[in-house]
Amino acid sequence: FETSLKITAKNKLRIIYCGDGFELDYTPAKYDGKDLDKNISLIMTEVKKRNKGKDNRYFTNLENDIRTDSALREEFAKQLNITGSVSKNTKYLANGRSNDFVTYDGATYVRTLPNGTYQKFSKNGQLIQMSDRNGNFIKIAYNGDKILTVTDNAGTSLQFKYYNNSKYVKQVVGPRGLSATYKYKGENLVSINNAWKNTYTHEYDDLYNMTKATYPDKTFIALTYDKDKDWVTSFKDRRSCKESYTYSSDEKDPLNNYSSEVVKVCGGKVTNKSSYSFWHKTKKDGSRYLARSKAVINGQTVDTTYHEEFGKPTEIVRDDVTSRFGYYSNGLLKTKIDPNHAYNYKYDNNCAKVSLLTVVITPPPAVADTKGSKDRKPTKEATQTLKTAFSYDSKRCNLVAAKSSTGQTVSLAYDMKGRIARITDQSKKIVTITYDERFGKPAVVSRPGLGTIKFKYKPDGTMDKFDSQDEPLVAIQVANIFSNLLEIIAPATTESNNI
- DSSP class per residue in 405-452: TTS-EEEEEE-TTS-EEEEEETT--EEEEEEETTTTEEEEEEETTTEE
Contacts of 84 (CB under 8 A, 6+ apart): 7, 8, 9, 10, 11, 12, 35, 39
What is the residue type of 270? V
Distance of CA 493 to the CA centre of its chain: 16
Contacts of 372 (CB under 8 A, 6+ apart): none
Report whether 235 contacts 223 (CB < 8 A). Answer: yes
Contacts of 49 (CB under 8 A, 6+ apart): none
Helical segments of 20-112, H only: 34-50, 56-68, 70-79
Ordered by start, the domain boundaries in the chain are 1-129, 241-322, 332-493
Per-residue pLDDT of the chain (499 residues; tens, 9 = 90+): 589 999 988 888 999 988 777 888 898 877 766 777 788 888 889 888 888 888 889 999 888 888 877 778 888 888 888 878 888 989 999 987 888 999 999 999 999 998 889 999 999 999 999 999 989 999 999 999 999 999 999 899 999 999 998 999 999 999 988 999 999 999 999 999 999 899 999 999 999 999 999 999 999 999 999 999 999 999 999 999 999 999 999 999 999 999 999 999 999 999 999 999 999 998 877 778 999 999 999 999 999 999 998 999 999 999 999 999 999 988 899 999 999 999 999 998 888 899 999 999 998 876 655 565 566 665 667 899 999 999 999 888 999 999 999 999 999 999 988 999 999 989 898 999 999 988 889 999 898 888 888 989 987 788 898 888 877 776 777 777 777 777 888 877 665 545 5
**Residue count of the chain:** 499
Q: Which of 421, 330, 355 is nearest to 134 (CA)?
A: 421
Contacts of 12 (CB under 8 A, 6+ apart): 25, 26, 27, 28, 31, 35, 84, 92
The Cα–Cα gap between 24 and 13 comes to 8
478: helix, strand or coil: helix
Helical segments of 322-438, H only: none
The Cα–Cα gap between 134 and 417 comes to 6
Q: Which of 203, 211, 207 is nearest to 184 (CA)?
A: 203
